[in-house]
Amino acid sequence: MPAASPYTAPYARPRPPAAPPKSPPGPPSRPPRLPPKPPSRPLSTPLRPLYGYARVLLTVDGNGTAEGQLLGGTVSFMSARTHAAPVFGNPDHWPAGLPVKPRTARHSPQRITAATDEAFHLRFLAQSAVPDAQMVTVGETVHLVDVVTGSAATLTPTDGSWRVCEGGPVKLWERIERVLDAYDVASAPGPETFTLHVYDGGQHLRHPQMSGLPLPRP
């Protein structure tokens, strides 16, 4: 038998060991559990024809309701076309059916027309009381017109006070004065103290020291 070559046997490469048999696949792993989805928080800008603006950050609940506090400041969004006020015609025509004898107004219209943060806030509260009213000034006379109810009011400065005439089914300035009275009694609460509640029955603006103000549906 021939002798083994000294150049092959000692240097032969050993075969690699056989791979172990694969184990059968186990059950599929479960996906990681995600944290519960936080409630959505849309930012809304309620506005109406009196150009009373407010911002509210709503928290939407799982049952379809939402609520949130009004935000401070005078920043707001641009008015959308769907919020355009209805045309009320010539304001000089509306006072024709108003009472001849006026009364003394408890509040000046400047409380909701002045260029101040408080007047900005009060204008929204006033608009909540008369949601369809519009305001325009002709000369020194301030006109309030509600084409939905057919109501109107005028405020005219006289001897350091304001005289108001109101007509129609809704006493527009009287409603605004009630809100201003309640606001003063509550020590002039800021926007952040008001909460907007939205639910199936509508939406209401509430304050712990004032009567709730219903807001029309958007």
Residues sharing a CB contact under 8 Å with residue 156, sequence separation 6 or more, in sequence order: 102, 140, 141, 142, 162, 163, 164
Among 183, 177, 52, 184, residue whose Cα is nearest residue 113: 52
As a whole number, the mean pLDDT across the chain is 79
- Please give, one letter per residue, the 3-state secondary structure of the chain: CCCCCCCCCCCCCCCCCCCCCCCCCCCCCCCCCCCCCCCCCCEECCECCCCCECEEECEECCCCCEEEEEECCCCCCCCCHHHCCCCCCCHHHHHHHCCCCCEECCCCCHHHHCCCHHHHHHHHHHHHHCCCCEEEEECCEEEEEECCCCEEEEEEEECCEEEEEEECCCCHHHHHHHHHHHHHHCCCCCHHHCEEEEECCEEEEEECCEEEEEECCC
Question: What is the amino acid identity at position 73?
Answer: G
Minimum mean pLDDT range among 3-7, 52-56, 129-133, 189-193: 3-7
Residue 201: pLDDT band with limits 50, 70, 90: confident
Q: What is the pLDDT of residue 45?
A: 46
Q: Looking at the predicted structure, is the pLDDT value of residue 153 above 60?
A: yes
